[in-house]
């Protein structure tokens, strides 16, 4: 981590960048926040990069692109897909970004640790980038607990897209292979359900939704200046979860809106206060797109047109080639 701080200070000092977008230490040891740093002192005292820095900083670059001067941004391998996609959509300015592709050993989910019954967490040891990432020692008000690093990882890390950064000016720190599950396994499980079972599955999950909009607001693909759900002409569907129908509409419409552009960064599921596996909607779309149009990964580059925005006469007719049920 010190290497990241030193490099950031160099780039600030030589005028390459005027600010650094990274993560700032939290007050509980596991709640860092995305932050801008403008001085060497601030970097020294507050910068952190460890297993809890899951936040994808790409979307913050939309605002940073509007500021004067270059911003140094730290992007993990999976974050770079989002950044590319944002370039493609003309939401961020490549020229305003100096990207350090930063290694990743799998990001941790404090909610998963809590779900293991660990209460009163004061600090977590073993989450730093120079640790082995095998065991976490969780210090709590009720004694120390040992937790497996892998079991405490975010879902997205188990289906990691790989250690390669898709865009970067330079790369620092080693990444670790964390993939130990099939990306579409969960989707296939749902596909195998009967229509009623599917409906029950999503009804149960979505009944938890509180319409806080965290999933939308964190999503790099949701970069519309004015979201359809904030429109005053769309009164009944906004804010309130009037009934379960509204909840489902929100998430389904959102999944449609980001289809073909979603990089599967997993931020929606990471931020959901109710732990709804929202990524499943998007991943189903990705799987279908792969099936119909050939494998496609949004954000792999900044030029290729997405299959849903690139009509060809060879395109399949999804309703004809597949049976819906």
Partner 1 sequence: MYKINKENLSALFSLIAEANELYVPVSINGAVNFAAWDEDVQVDLDTLKTVKSPKDAFFPQSETLYSCKRNGKKLSITPEELSSKDFVVFGMKACDVKGLAVLDKVFLVDPVDSYYKARREHGIIVSLACSQPEEACFCNVFGIDASSPEGDVQVYMIGDELFWNAVTQKGEKLTEQVKSLLADTDEAKVEEEKASIKAIVERLPYSNLSLDGWGEDAVLLDKFNSPIWEELYKPCLACGTCTFVCPTCQCYDIKDYNTGNGVQRYRCWDSCMYSDFTMMAHGNNRTSQMQRYRQRFMHKLVYYPQNNDGMYSCVGCGRCVDKCPTGLNIVKVIKAFEKGGNK
Partner 2 sequence: MCECNCNHESFYEDTLIPKVGVVTDIRQETPDVKTFRVVAPDGSKLFEHMPGQCAMVSVPGVGEAMFSITSSPTNKEFQEFSIKKCGVLTDYLHAMEVGEEITVRGPYGNNFPVETELKGKNLLFIAGGIGLAPLRSVINYVLDNRENYGTVDILYGSRSADDLVQLKEIQEVWMNSPNVNVYLTIDREQEGWDGHVGFVPSYLKEIGFDTNKVALICGPPIMIKFVLQGLQEMGFDKKQIITTLELRMKCGVGKCGRCNIGSKYVCKDGPVFHCDELDEIPAEY
Q: List residues near partner 1 by CB under 8 A.
A: 26-28, 31-36, 55, 60, 115, 119-122, 140-142, 204-205, 207-208, 210-214, 216-218, 230, 232, 235-236, 238-242, 270-271, 273-276
> Which residue shows structure tokens 């950064």?
165
Closer residue to partner 1 (CB): 124 or 289: 124
> Does position 232 bind partner 2 by CB under 8 A?
yes
Residue 264 CA to residue 81 CA, distance in Å, equals 9
What string marks each residue from 77 to 96 as x (binds partner 2 by CB under 8 A) or -? --------------------
Q: Residue 316 Cβ, how far from partner 1 at the closest point, in Å?
A: 35
Q: Name the 3-class secondary structure at 62.
A: helix
Which one of partner 1, partner 2, none interacts with residue 274, CB within 5 to 8 A by kind?
A: partner 1
Closer residue to partner 1 (CB): 19 or 284: 19
Residue 56 CA to residue 59 CA, distance in Å, equals 7
For the chain, state the CA radius of gyration. 20
Which one of partner 1, partner 2, none interacts with residue 240, CB within 5 to 8 A by kind?
A: partner 1
Q: Which stretch binds partner 2 (CB under 8 A): 111-119, 211-219, 230-238, 312-320?
A: 230-238
Which one of partner 1, partner 2, none interacts with residue 233, CB within 5 to 8 A by kind?
A: partner 2
Residue 109 CA to residue 30 CA, distance in Å, equals 9
Within 8 A by CB and 6+ apart from 324, the residues are: none
Burial of 59: CB neighbours in 10 Å, binned 0-12, 13-18, 19+: buried
Return the half-sphere exposure (C-beta side, CA atoms, 13 A cut-off) of residue 243. Answer: 1
Residue 91 CA to residue 17 CA, distance in Å, equals 20
> Does position 226 bind partner 2 by CB under 8 A?
no
Taking CB under 8 A as the criterion, the residue among 233, 295, 312, 325 binding partner 2 is 233
> Which residue shows structure tokens 């929606």?
268
Which one of partner 1, partner 2, none interacts with residue 159, CB within 5 to 8 A by kind?
A: none
Which one of partner 2, partner 1, none interacts with residue 207, CB within 5 to 8 A by kind?
A: partner 1
Residue 79 CA to residue 88 CA, distance in Å, equals 15
Binding site for partner 2 (CB under 8 A): 232-233, 235
């Amino acid at each position: 981590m010190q290497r990241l701080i030193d490099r950031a200070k160099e780039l600030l000092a030589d005028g390459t960048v005027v600010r650094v977008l990274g993560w700032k230490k939290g007050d509980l040891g596991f709640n860092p926040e995305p932050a801008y740093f403008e001085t060497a002192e601030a970097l020294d005292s507050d910068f952190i990069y460890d297993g809890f820095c899951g936040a994808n900083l790409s979307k913050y670059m939309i605002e940073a692109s509007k500021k004067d001067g270059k911003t140094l941004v730290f992007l993990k391998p999976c974050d770079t897909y989002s950044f590319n996609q944002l370039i493609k959509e003309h939401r961020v300015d490549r020229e305003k970004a100096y990207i350090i592709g930063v290694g990743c050993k799998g990001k941790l989910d404090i909610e998963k640790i809590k779900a293991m019954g660990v209460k009163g967490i004061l600090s977590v040891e073993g989450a730093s980038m120079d640790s082995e990432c095998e065991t976490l020692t969780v210090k709590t008000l009720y004694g120390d607990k040992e937790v497996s690093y892998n079991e405490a990882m975010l879902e997205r890390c188990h289906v990691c897209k790989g250690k390669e950064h898709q865009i970067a000016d330079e790369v620092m720190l080693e990444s670790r292979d964390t993939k130990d599950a099939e990306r579409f396994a969960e989707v296939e499980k749902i596909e195998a359900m009967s229509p009623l079972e599917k409906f029950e599955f999503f009804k149960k999950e979505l009944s938890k939704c509180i319409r806080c909009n965290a999933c939308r607001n964190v999503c790099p693909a949701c970069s519309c200046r004015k979201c359809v759900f904030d429109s005053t002409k769309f009164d009944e569907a906004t804010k309130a979860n009037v009934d379960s129908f509204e909840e489902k509409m929100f998430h389904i419409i959102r999944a449609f809106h980001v289809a073909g552009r979603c990089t599967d960064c997993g931020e929606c599921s990471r931020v959901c206060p109710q732990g709804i596996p929202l990524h499943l909607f998007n991943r189903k779309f990705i799987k279908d797109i792969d099936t119909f149009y050939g494998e496609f990964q949004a954000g792999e580059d900044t030029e290729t047109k997405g299959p849903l925005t690139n009509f060809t006469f060879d395109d399949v007719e999804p309703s004809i080639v597949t049976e819906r049920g």
